[in-house]
Amino acid sequence: MTQIQDTEIRNLIFKETQRQSEGLEMIPSENHTSMEVLHALGSRLTDKYSEGYPGMRYYGGCEYVDKVENLARERAKKLFGVSHANVQPYSGSPANMAVYFALADPGDTVMGMALYYGGHMTHGLKVNFSGKWFNSIQYKTGEDGYLNYETMADLAAKHSPKLIFVGATAYPRIFDWTKLRLIADSVNAFLVADISHIAGLIVAGVHPSPAGIADVITTTTHKTLRGPRGAMILCNGNPSNPLKPAPRTRENLPTLIDRAIIPGLQGGPHNHQTAAIAVALKEAGTPEFREYGSQIVKNAKRLAEQLSNKGYKLVTGGTDNHLLLIDLANKNITGAEAEHSLGQAGITVNKNTVPFDPRPPFDPSGIRLGTPALTTRGLKEVEMDQVADWIDASIKHSKDEKLLMNIRSEIREFTRSYPLPGETTLS
């Protein structure tokens, strides 16, 4: 590839790549894409405007981007077992906004998981559009960190929401889609499954799929799915002309969703992003990816076991998926302090609230970490033991800058044997 001539940007890109390469990226919403995905993302497709959908564009010269988008749509439908896929959302939050736009009116009652209990801000946080434009009812986990489906059913019965959003950014357990369907049906609500964090695990068969159960599925493409930053909206039904209004019925979901994206909320799709999504979806359809998804969970469970043995309090006591949520109150360190000390040691995590957290969101009691990016680099269970040791030492000795720098040197040497995709092993 031609080298970037803007030296300031080139150097910053180099430094960020070096930071990722020489450290352990453990934020569970992050991953490392393949070089094939990066090449598609940096292609000439970025130059093309193509408002509309394949065969129904407002611009000429779309014969090839039509084929790109159709490939992405067909791969998504096959991979997730649905009859309709929209691959144009710019990212996860716009995808969720489009679902609200399609299925509800401002002021309608909606229900979603509270952010500070593991949910996402687009699921009804009061300062987010979803909480400002709609009457947002928020459900929480119990004291044990688990969702209580009976409590959710009672809340739905009391408020009769039009939409129920399910999905999380910091929930380490499996969702029971069948129970959630029953709750939605009890109040005649649309059930929306936001699988942004677990899409890759669903494809790999290590988390139950909401396909055929939820009315609409939204997902980002850049977390466990290991693609570019982007999103998709998936559903079943019979699409018609997205330029014409359609009643809000389950049969019309494809048309309602497509119409919400354009002309409802977006203009021209990002064709380079669509191509990169298509590449990632092809990769996700391989046996190797299924093994990868399974290894993510194995690694997370092993890491949870090791940290529990070291006295760390894991929310729900462990994990079923790719992430761990740790309450650090018994370690006499805040989440923000732990994030900082781990960062100094070369381990990237994020501070995070825990259920019923007495501390504020910007200085919470917990940290959130996960295994998708480490698994991409080839780490397995035995390496999780070493990672747990580094995490423990970095938190125990958070004020010892010399020790943290020593750990950083150890990690830098360790990562030479686990290159980023496209790098050469240096060991």
Which of the residues 162, 181, 223, 377 is marked catalytic? 223
Which of the residues 22, 36, 49, 389 is marked catalytic? 49
Q: Where is 391: in which H helix or E strand?
A: helix 381-396
For residues 113-141, one letter each, b for 16 or more C-beta atoms within 10 angstroms of the residue's C-beta and e for the rest, the string is bbbbbbbbbbbbbeebbbbebbbbbbbbb
- Report how far residue 185's alpha carbon sits from residue 214's, in angstroms, rounded to the nearest whole number: 10
- 154 carries an active-site annotation: no
How do beta strands 135-139 and 163-166 pair?
Answer: unpaired
- 220 carries an active-site annotation: yes
- Report how far residue 108's alpha carbon sits from residue 389's, in angstroms, rounded to the nearest whole number: 49
- Report how far residue 260's alpha carbon sits from residue 235's, in angstroms, rounded to the nearest whole number: 14
Phi and psi (nearest 5°) for 101? -60, -40
- 223 carries an active-site annotation: yes
Q: Which residue has the tokens 């998804």?
A: 293
Which of the residues 25, 73, 109, 194 is marked catalytic? 194
Which of the residues 51, 305, 381, 392 is marked catalytic? 51
- Report how far residue 6's alpha carbon sits from residue 9's, in angstroms, rounded to the nearest whole number: 6
Which of the residues 219, 220, 376, 415 is marked catalytic? 220
- 229 carries an active-site annotation: yes
- 410 carries an active-site annotation: no
- 51 carries an active-site annotation: yes
Residues 6+ apart with CB under 8 A from 426: 416, 417, 419
Phi and psi (nearest 5°) for 164? -125, 115
Nearest in space to 140 (alpha carbons), one of 117, 165, 123: 117
Catalytic residues: 49, 51, 194, 220, 223, 229
